[in-house]
Structure 1
Amino acid sequence: MNQVLQQHLQEFKEKNKNHAHLLISCPDQPGIVAAVSNFLYEQGANILNSNQYTTDPQGGTFFIRFDFSCEDLSAREGELEQRFEEIANKFQMNWQIIYAYHLKKMAIFVSKEDHALLELLWQCQSGDIITDIALVISNHEDVRHTVESLDIPFYYTPITKETKREVEEQQLQLLKEYNVDVIVLARYMQILTPEFVSNFPNQIINIHHSFLPAFIGAKPYERAFDRGVKLIGATSHYVTNDLDEGPIIEQDVERVNHKDDVDELKRIGRMIERRVLARAVKWHLEDRVIVHGNKTIVFE
């Protein structure tokens, strides 16, 4: 990894050495916020921000994200989690304390098109996205020079229908070796097998070149042009074994008109894909997303 990327990561770790996020989902009832807030106060923590949402005030599911700081947090991780168990059990919580200074390691999968990859690399270089890019995996050689110029490991894993299972086993071994936390499919034009996906539940982020559920499958821009659409878009979502039907993290659209041919639609589409994927990845890395069934709650 080059010096600019390393510097951003080091500065972030130092700035956030006592910083963590607490994500909670549980059946809604009175007293949840008070109990958690009082707990954090008793541990000497300072709540920097909190956001909450309830699906239904009458017996729905309650979601909340606390952003807090606490002195000597790295030395108190186990103690803090052990003490929180009592409250978690009382309110039947699904919960995580995620420590900001434990930087997530990201793997990027890409094929020939490089626009989504380049956007992620640029935002990491600029410090807008903070993550340790552990490696880039591709079934083509096209982006090797771009990746290696930033001192990021690049792995070429050509794949065919006959070698798919063998190649995925190789890829999984690489991900294990690099201790990867999140995978981003930056226009990786392969369908992952259920066996692969099962290793990374809600940890694989994809970008889809249409405003789902519109124009699923091949040639979306050609089909959109034939339909005479006035809006085109992109969707970023978690990958599940239901093709392109995983929980949606972010979507965006642009207005088009009759003067835009297929090539222009593709150009505009690539711009939308870049920003939608970058936002989804950033929110995931900042622990702003809770998956609830096949939906997501994304906290500001």
Structure 2
Amino acid sequence: MNENLILIECKDKVGLVAIISELMAKHHLNITAMREFVDEDNDTFFARIECFGSVVSEVKLLNELKEVLPEEAKITINPKKEKKVAVLVTKEYHCLGDILIRHSFNTLGANVCMVAGNYDVLKPFTNRFDVPFFYVSHEGRSKQDFEKDLVKSIEEFNPDYIVLAKFMRILSPDFVARFKHKIINIHHSFLPAFIGASPYRQAHERGVKVIGATAHFVTNDLDEGPIIVQQTIPVNHTFKVSDMVTAGKEVEKSVLSKALQLVFQDRVFITGNKTIIFE
């Protein structure tokens, strides 16, 4: 492999960039792009390095990096390029449609391995793309039983990420912990404003002049996980709630698409409840 990607997260110390560069040169790896950032609040160094050259042994390179970097450094060499993605849905199709079209034309940067929904209304649409659909009903069942079957269908495919494409169910702490930092949600609001299920109605009642959408990682705090991408568009007093919903759906698709691109290209690091993004 001639094109290589190296991701590093470790405690900060003086001279890290020089140390890393020297080791890359020792292995005859030419750095073509290097982005780094220091989170001063947490004394943590992040780096995303693109380099060109033949890596004789990834294990040897990994061990040598561990020797020169601070203890407990997190190092990834050549992460899997095409991620596997599971998508969870309810009834709205616009985000799922955008994902499946990109998947079909190989522009998503990932492979959609399955779609699961707590209603089956999107099954015929999903099947058009030759993607398996799993109907897991929540009605008349405990959350524990519902999520048990949902987890079973997801883990059959061992996805790298789970995308909540307008999946309108609150996930339990156990579910979130099982897929920590692997669940990506699109929320129809410019967070932290108007959390919950009806942000467009809240925005209309408040008379806001902009609406937006937020893609974020899911945590146990509702709609408060690390933010990946946000975007807004202007609105005015002539917009009804339905107008805001229509305009908002376009923003949601755009924001989710950009967030997934960044994540799938390994450009996003999580630090606390924030993200470091190397675009």
Look up the SS of the partner of 1:121 in the other structure.
helix
Q: How many matched pairs?
A: 279
Counterparts in 2 of 1:159 and 1:20: CA distance versus 1, 3 Å = farther
Task: Kindly indicate whether residue 83 of structure 2 is the aligned counterpart of residue 104 of structure 1.
Answer: yes
The AA in structure 1 aligned to 2:21 is S
Q: For 1:37, which of 21, 25, 37 is the aligned residue?
A: 21
What pairs up with 1:247-262 in 2 under 5 angstroms?
A: 247-262=226-241
For residue 85 of structure 1, what is the aligned residue in structure 2? 66
RMSD: 2.0
Residue 284, structure 1, aligned to residue 268, structure 2: no
Question: Does the 8 Å contact 1:115/1:270 carry over to 2?
Answer: yes
Residue 157 (structure 1) aligns with:
136
User: What is the letter of the counterpart of residue 142 of structure 1?
Assistant: V
Kept in 2, the 8 Å contact 1:55–1:61? The answer is: yes
Aligned to 1:202: 181
Pairwise CA distance, 1:62: 2.3
Distance 1:18 1:175, change over 3 A: farther
1:102 is displaced (CA, Å) by 4.6
> Where does residue 23 of structure 1 map in the other structure?
7
- 2:36 paired residue number: 52
SS across alignment from 1:179: coil
Report the equivalent of 1:63.
46
Aligned pairs for 1:191-230 (under 5 A) are 191-230=170-209
SS in structure 1 at match of 2:57: helix
Query: Is the Cα–Cα contact under 8 Å of residues 228 and 275 in structure 2 kept in the other structure?
Result: yes
Matched with 1:123 is 102
Aligned to 1:188: 167
Instruction: Show the counterpart of 1:236.
Output: 215
Greater alpha carbon shift after TM alignment, 217-226 vs 205-214: 217-226
* Contact kept? 1:207, 1:273, Cα under 8 Å: yes
Residues 139-187 of structure 1 show CA distances to partners (whole Å, capped at 9, x for unaligned) of 1112112211111111111113633212212222222221211000000
CA distance in 2, matches of 1:164, 1:191: 9
* Alignment CA distance shift 1:220-1:146 (3 Å): same
Segments of 5+ residues of structure 2 without an aligned counterpart are none
Q: Give 1 or 2: higher helix fraction.
A: 1
- Residue 204 of structure 1 aligns with an amino acid whose one-letter code is I
Please tell me whether residue 293 in structure 1 is matched to residue 272 in structure 2. yes
Q: C-alpha deviations, 1:57-112, integer Å up to 9, x for none?
A: x99432211122342x5x73333323322123xx2353232425552111000110
The gaps in structure 1 that reach 5 residues or longer are: 1-16
Letter in 1 for 2:229: E
Q: 1:20, 1:240 → 2: CA distance?
A: 31
Q: Secondary structure at the match of 2:238?
A: coil
CA distance in 2, matches of 1:111, 1:293: 30
Distance in 2, matches of 1:198 and 1:150, equals 31
Give the stretch that moved more between structures: 175-184 or 245-254. Answer: 175-184
Alignment of 1:253-272 (within 5 A): 253-272=232-251
Residues 20, 202 of structure 1: CA spacing in aligned structure 2 closer, same or farther, 3 A cutoff? farther
Query: Counterpart amino acid of 1:66?
Result: I
Match of 2:118 in 1: 139
- CA deviation after TM superposition for structure 1 residue 229, in Å: 0.6
Contact 1:51 1:65 in 2 (8 A): yes
TM-score by length of 1: 0.87
CA 1:152–1:218 in structure 2 vs 1: closer, same or farther (change >3 Å)?
Answer: closer
For 1:246, which of 220, 225, 240 is the aligned residue?
A: 225
State the AA in 2 paired with 1:248. I
Helix, strand or coil at the partner of 2:124 = helix
Normalising by structure 2, report the TM-score.
0.93
| Paired residue type of 1:252 | Q
Q: Give the Cα–Cα distance (whole angstroms) in 1 for the partners of residues 97 and 2 of structure 2.
A: 32
